[in-house]
Amino acid sequence: MSTAAAAAPATDFNWGPYRGMTASVKMSEQDIADFSKTGGTLLRVGFSQQPLMNKQPPYDFNEDAFARLNQIIGWCRAYHIKIIIDPHTTPGTKRDTTTLPNDLLWQDARYHDLLNRLWERIATELKGNNDVIVGYDLLNEPAAKKLFEAEGAADYNRLYTRLIATIRAHDPDTPIIIEPAVGRDTNGKWINRIDGIRALSLPTERKIIVSPHVYEPHNFTHQGVRDIQTGAHYPGMIDGQYWDKAALRQALAPIRDWQLAQHAVIYIGEFSASAYSGEDGNRYVQDLIDIFEEYGWSWTYHSWRSAPVWDPEKIAAQTQPPKLSAPNDESASPSVTAGAAPSTPPATRLDILKSAFIAKGE
């Protein structure tokens, strides 16, 4: 990425604060109606299960996905829910749920052209819906090869600067969301999504929101997902470090420091702890929400009725750390181990979120 100093965005832009959850394009009207009853006000709608642009040549737009998006906009308008549009996946990426440093997106600028074409259509067709749409999330979880001094297709700052210009040529009003990238610095050190915020070089465009995802420590939040072992506890020692609320605050310090220095609007687009984390995960989620609220950050918990291992309703139903029917599948359903002795957590995951929605409701 380029190393130009980030210009501070204008400070007269007020956005949120919003509180809600991520959700899938596959959700139904009833899912939205039920979400509205939780007290949440925002859904970050992802299209990993039905991409807006086909990921194989000739890279046509998926008209069914666009029709579904318009349907969701109508439903959310009816239930007074705001949405963020999150394409979530794009041609040139291997996975539908995230990006990887070796994706073709970071090697061939033609894939930048495709993403640019997608955002041009979104901005052209959906402008003027700001009673519902409160953000365009440009690229989910970028994972660039380099975070500093990148060139060509590997330059993430260059990519999102282009996307912003394209959107603003058609839609001057909808806020634009930029996510910090993971990657390596000039010395080869791995930088996570929190520290990656330092590599951003924001334009002076007013309506910019910066959206880190928070899953630290990863071996706690993702236990039981893919090949990550279960058994990590919070508070407790995880990967040689003691993690508690104070440690979380310290981990989030780069975001807070950067926010204050750049006068930026911060929105935590994803945070969660898998169903395997049990009561410890509930405590972790509560501690993060406490910090987000203290700092005035908007947030969306991951996720609402899209993957049972993250779904607060499914987690709330558990009395014992669950076992996934397919441990390597993030969308697999958890099931309680037969004969396990029940234990009742002080508050369920959904209870924690509802309390936060209600206590801080607008």
Mean pLDDT value across residues 334-358:
65
Check whether 345 has a pLDDT greater than 70.
no
Write out 111-167 in H/E/C secondary structure. HHHHHHHHHHHHHHHHCCCCCCEEEEECCCCCEEEECCCCCHHHCHHHHHHHHHHHH
CA nearest 289: which of 3, 16, 20? 20
At 347 the pLDDT is 76
- What is the overall mean pLDDT for the chain? 89
At 334 the pLDDT is 39
Check whether 295 has a pLDDT greater than 50.
yes
Percent of the chain with pLDDT over 70: 87
- Confidence at 346, pLDDT banded by 50, 70, 90: low
Secondary structure (3-state) at 170: coil
> What is the distance between the alpha carbons of residues 82 and 126, in angstroms, rounded to a whole number?
14
Long-range contacts formed by 232-235: CB under 8 A, 24+ apart: 232/277, 232/280, 233/280, 234/273, 234/277, 234/280, 234/281, 234/283, 234/284, 235/280, 235/283
Task: Spell out a b/e string for 171-200, using b for 16 or more CB atoms within 10 Å of the CB, else e.
Answer: beebbbbbbbbbbebeeeeebbbbbbbbbb
Check whether 10 has a pLDDT greater than 70.
no
Structure tokens at 184: 């390596």
Mean pLDDT value across residues 327-339:
39
**Peptide bond between residue 212 and the one before it cis (omega within 30 degrees of 0):** no
**Residues with Cβ < 8 Å from 23, sequence gap 6 or more?**
31, 35, 43, 44, 45, 46, 303, 304, 305, 306
Mean pLDDT value across residues 300-315:
94
Q: How far is CA 243 from CA 212, 215, 251, 281, in A?
A: 20, 13, 10, 12
- Confidence at 361, pLDDT banded by 50, 70, 90: low
CA nearest 102: which of 51, 153, 163? 153
Check whether 328 has a pLDDT greater than 60.
no
At 341 the pLDDT is 39
Predicted confidence (pLDDT) per residue in 174-186, tens digit: 999 999 999 998 8
Question: What single letter denotes the amino acid at residue 211?
Answer: S
Predicted confidence (pLDDT) per residue in 211-229, tens digit: 999 999 999 999 999 899 9
The number of angstroms, rounded, from the C-alpha of 67 to the middle of its chain's C-alpha atoms is: 23
Mean pLDDT value across residues 103-110:
96
Range ranked top by mean pLDDT from 199-203, 271-275, 323-327, 340-344: 271-275
Mean pLDDT value across residues 59-83:
98
Mean pLDDT value across residues 132-155:
92
CA nearest 210: which of 182, 181, 185, 190? 181
**Peptide bond between residue 235 and the one before it cis (omega within 30 degrees of 0):** yes
Check whether 3 has a pLDDT greater than 60.
no
At 296 the pLDDT is 96
Per-domain residue ranges of the chain? 19-359
Predicted confidence (pLDDT) per residue in 26-40, tens digit: 999 999 999 999 999
- Confidence at 342, pLDDT banded by 50, 70, 90: very low
> What is the distance between the alpha carbons of residues 358 and 19, in angstroms, rounded to a whole number?
10
Secondary structure (3-state) at 3: coil
- Cα-only R_g, the chain: 20
Q: Return left, alpha or beta for 293; rule: phi > 0 is left, psi -120 to 50 is alpha, else beta.
A: alpha
Predicted confidence (pLDDT) per residue in 162-172, tens digit: 999 999 999 99
> What is the distance between the alpha carbons of residues 219 and 274, in angstroms, rounded to a whole number?
10
| Longest distance between any two alpha carbons in the chain, whole Å | 61
Task: Spell out a b/e string for 140-157, using b for 16 or more CB atoms within 10 Å of the CB, else e.
Answer: bbbbbbbbbebeebbbbb
At 343 the pLDDT is 46
At 148 the pLDDT is 84
Percent of the chain with pLDDT over 90: 80
Task: Look at 5 and 17; give whichever has higher pLDDT.
Answer: 17
Task: Look at 214 and 319; give whichever has higher pLDDT.
Answer: 214
For the domain spanning 19-359, the CATH number is 3.20.20.80
